[in-house]
Amino acid sequence: MNQQQASMPRVFAPVITPFTADLAVDAPRLVAFCKWLVTQRAGLAIFGTNSEANSLSLAERIELLDALVDGGVDPRFMMPGTGASALPDAVTLTRHAVARGCAGALVLPPFFYKGVGEDGVYRYYCEIIEKVAASQLRLYLYHIPQLSGVAITASLIARLRQKYPKTIAGLKDSSGDWENTRRMLEEFPDLQVYPASEALLERALPLGAAGCISATANLQPRLIADYIDQWSMPRGRQINGQLTAVRLRMQNTVMIPALKAVVAHYAGDPAWTTVRPPLSAAAPAEVQKLLADLDGMGFAMPGIAAAGEVKQ
């Protein structure tokens, strides 16, 4: 973890993306929500899987990042997803993230063609790095084989690290496979490894994990940040109990619509419930039950109401 910049948060939210009723991206709502997340000690992994990033056009991703930085959100807290199915799109997005001063860029492997072989994926990442050609680039590899169909293997990481030791900064491991996370932490001690759930922190932090990038960091970022600070202390165990209850309940939902329904409720802003096809909004009865369950756990999103006061 020794390469991580001191200013970087250790918990990142793969920030959910608001849409207007006609399914356009809603920049003012995203800016307000990101500002709230930053007050809660979260970094901003905008354009991640939970952001419906692969349902956004290139122009929308550029427009939203510009709106955030121009709107006063500190890019040193941002690790935008800049991966794409098409190499030129990944180059454009990664270049833009660097140009706007983002702390890093989280890059999916190309995700349409399957069984492409490590050489092709290696060349894909090399092309991005060579074409962006920026010494400030900190590239985080994104391992999520259940959706991308293309794995980020240890041998791929080793090859890329050898060629670009400074640029290849980290790995988000969304496999949910602890054995894989453990192996990455042990084989690459200088790599910033982020498991995709705070559930793995208890085992990952002692091995040097950088933090986590987790869906539920949209809901309880401060608690996760506090846990990362205090995991080895008695208070840490107490926090972990609170974290776990909410996380387990959220894991029992269709995550993206559920996250949006929860934010809509606590922000008092129903516009947040909109998802873009192919996703579907959560069923009202399920939302009601989820909210009742969270309420019963004493769940809260302190200060989120202010972020709900965006009117267009």
Environment class of residue 104 by beta-carbon count within 10 Å: exposed (0-12), middle (13-18) or buried (19+)? buried
- Bridge partners, residue 105, by sequence: 139
DSSP bridge partners of 143? 173
Contact region for a copy of itself (CB under 8 A) — 26-34, 142-150, 212-220, 292-300? Answer: 142-150
Instruction: At 95, give phi and psi (nearest 5°).
Output: -60, -40
* 23 touches a copy of itself (CB under 8 A): yes
Is the separation of the CB atoms in 293 and 285 below 8 Å? no
Please give the structure tokens belonging to residue 184. 């990455």
Check if the beta carbon of residue 284 is closer than 8 Å to that of residue 273: no
Q: Is residue 301 part of the contact set for a copy of itself (CB under 8 A)? A: no
Given candidates 147, 233, 248, 300, which one binds a copy of itself under the rule CB under 8 A?
147
Nearest residue to 114 (alpha-carbon basis) of 89, 88, 145: 145
By beta-carbon proximity to a copy of itself, the closer residue of 92 and 192 is 92
Residue 173, SS3 per DSSP: strand
Binding region for a copy of itself (CB under 8 A) out of 10-18, 122-130, 132-140, 183-191: 122-130
- Only one residue has tokens 């980290």, namely 170
Q: Which of residues 56-75 bind a copy of itself (CB under 8 A)?
A: 56-60
CB of 307 to a copy of itself, least distance (A): 25
Active site residues: 142, 172
Nearer to a copy of itself, 49 or 192 (CB): 49
For the sheet containing 212-213, what is the strand order? 43-44, 11-13, 212-213
Nearer to a copy of itself, 239 or 282 (CB): 282
Q: Which of residues 264-283 bind a copy of itself (CB under 8 A)?
A: 276-280
Question: Going residue by residue from 69 to 108, which x/- string records binding to a copy of itself, judged by CB under 8 A?
Answer: ----------------xxxxx--x----------------
Residue 220's identity, in one-letter code, is: Q
The residues binding a copy of itself (CB under 8 A) are 23, 54-60, 85-89, 92, 109-114, 116-117, 119-121, 123-124, 127, 146-150, 276-280
